Amino acid sequence: MTGKKEKSKERREKRLQEISLLRTIPYSDHQRWWSQETIAVVTGANRGIGFEIARQLAAHGLTVILTSRDTSVGIEAAKVLQEGGFNVDVHQLDILDSESISNFVDWAKEKYGGIDILVNNAAVNFNIGTENSIEFAKQTIDTNYYGTKNMIKAMLPLMRCSSHGSRIVNVSSRLGKLNGRKNRIEDEELRDKLSNLDTLTEELIDNTVSTFLQQVDDGTWESGGWPKSCTDYSVSKLAVNLYTRVMAKELSERPEGEKIYINCYCPGSVKTVMTGWTGNTTAENAADTGVWLSLLPDQAITGKFFAERREINF
Ligand code: NDP
């Protein structure tokens, strides 16, 4: 291992140790804005990081709705948490299926009236390690970007109005950094437009991912200046990150008492099915920043990108 890599490994390990210590410090009564009546929805929560986010939120005393695209797998996963004494409900939800989203919304509205936290965790990636197949580009963009976006749009009317604000957390990835050193969009003009909050719009993000998919279809994507590593997944997470910024701007216009805070984070490289268990950290560590963002007592944080509880650049 080179000196630089070793140093960055040491830094990461030190930060993970700090975070494990932070996790042992209980929230004080005045920080705990939530209760058992606080409802958190987690997508793709039947396994991996989503399951851990659900478990940790439930351990903090919230009611968690564990959602899974496969009903029976979701019920089994929820049972593990219910048997541990947690308040966990379960419902089918496929974020690619508009009927499934709409059934879920109707059910949640009928049963709970509204929700307080939405964690968009469900995603797919078809590349392991350094592979860079774009065979499943459309499914990756549809699930990770459009699925997340559709969930946000569908759940917004259900998000409760309160003085502490509702929260949306998008589980994203550093691979989707706009200004990453290696894995970024090479077209400087496009990058500038996407970087600038005045020119960044939902339409521009949609057009950017459409251009990518079009180039995949006509076989020209390799010269299109797209991120070099896990290209389709990186483009999908870039879109999630940028959409987080667009939504934060839009939601910040809501009046006091109706605020919704939205942030995204990178969980690191995690030992889960998605990476073929090749990551360097556990789902428990990876869930931490998502849980921390969901429960932040400081309400003013919105439209930011985090890793290991620290803000990073988009
Ligand atoms: P897993 O593959 O273990 O879990 C992904 C979850 O998403 C599964 O529950 C899966 O359901 C679900 N899912 C996929 N498609 C859909 C869909 N259409 N509708 C509903 N649920 C769906 O991955 P991880 O736990 O590792 O990943 C969780 C999040 O973390 C993702 O957003 C991922 O991009 C992100 N991330 C992960 C990293 C890592 O190193 N693992 C690194 C950076 C980001 P099913 O079981 O039915 O397939």
pLDDT tens-place values along the chain, 314 residues long: 578 888 988 998 899 899 999 999 989 999 999 999 999 999 999 999 999 999 999 999 999 999 999 999 999 999 999 999 999 999 999 999 999 999 999 999 999 999 999 999 999 999 988 889 999 999 999 999 999 999 999 999 999 999 999 999 999 999 999 988 889 999 999 999 999 999 999 999 999 999 999 999 999 999 999 999 999 999 999 999 999 999 999 999 999 999 999 999 999 999 999 999 999 999 999 999 999 999 998 778 999 999 999 999 99
- Contact (Cβ atoms closer than 8 angstroms) between residue 303 and residue 265: no
Q: Point out the catalytic residue in the list 27, 112, 146, 233.
A: 233
- Per the annotation, the verdict on 261 as an active-site residue is no
- Contact (Cβ atoms closer than 8 angstroms) between residue 291 and residue 309: no
Q: Is 49 in the pocket of ligand 1 (CB under 6 A)?
A: yes
Which of 41, 46, 49 has most ligand 1 atoms within 8 Å of its beta carbon, as the pocket-test mutant? 49
Tell me which residue has its CA closest to atom 15 in ligand 1.
123
Query: What is the 253 CA–ligand 1 centroid distance (Å)?
Result: 31
CA atoms within 13 A on the CB side of 199: 8
- The reported pLDDT for the residue numbered 1 is 59
- Contact (Cβ atoms closer than 8 angstroms) between residue 301 and residue 261: yes
CA gap 200, 191 in Å, rounded: 10
- The reported pLDDT for the residue numbered 12 is 87
Please give the model's pTM, rounded to 2 decimal places. 0.97
Q: Is 271 in the pocket of ligand 1 (CB under 6 A)?
A: no
Report the largest interatomic distance among the alpha carbons of the chain, rounded to a whole angstrom: 58
Query: What is the 45 CA–ligand 1 centroid distance (Å)?
Result: 8
Q: Is 183 in the pocket of ligand 1 (CB under 6 A)?
A: no
Which of 47, 93, 233, 274 has most ligand 1 atoms within 8 Å of its beta carbon, as the pocket-test mutant? 274
CA gap 218, 237 in Å, rounded: 22
